[in-house]
Amino acid sequence: MGAYMFDFFALDNSLLLPPKTTDAVDLLIRDHTVVKDLFEEFEKSSSRAARKKLAARALEELKIHAALEEDIFYPAVRKKVGKDIMNEADEEHHVAKLLIAELEDLNGRGDHYDAKFKVLSENVRHHIKEEENEMLPKARAVNLDFEKLGKQMLQRRQQLLNKGVPHVGEEAMVAATHSRGDSPAQAAHRKRRPAKRTA
């Protein structure tokens, strides 16, 4: 379901080429491009079925990408890049993972699904911009073997594609609330409605 082992991502999967690089930073930027392309395709599409499929692919891409950053890339560069930038990135991941869990819970249903996906795309685009303009240039200055790091990321990516991404705390948070993907207004309205009487 992911495009991670390929240099070019085609939405119809007709063209899949081996990666040209194993450089960790280049691989992250490539992932960013894949996700932004999926966001754009979602926005252009008017078909509910196509949007659901595009969103599912984007969510899977984001889950794998976040796992690679959190498990491999962020720990490798955290000290040198600085805690302020890295802590903000952590929090942006947390917000994205909450939205991803809510969207997966909705499974393409509900009148707030598209709005929720749009908010996710806006947050992720902001995160990508900050990473590419601030974090990644600082990371490049770190004395690291980015080819070796990239190979670790590709290997882990393949494991995640084969076995799936482990559950994260945000999924448990959404499950615990019995989420319906409600907006705060919808949830409040539902709570105000009187219970149906049974005879």
Distance CA 92, CA 78 (A): 15
Question: Taking a C-beta distance cutoff of 8 angstroms, is the pair 117, 138 a contact?
Answer: no
Contacts of 112 (CB under 8 A, 6+ apart): 106, 181, 182, 183, 186
Q: From the CB of residue 99, how many other CB atoms can be counted at a distance below 10 Å?
A: 21
Q: What is the pLDDT of residue 124?
A: 97
Mean pLDDT by groups of 10 residues along the chain of 199 residues:
38 44 92 95 92 94 95 95 94 94 86 92 97 95 93 93 80 67 56 58
Name the residue ranges covered by the structural domains of the chain: 24-192
Q: What is the pLDDT of residue 193?
A: 59
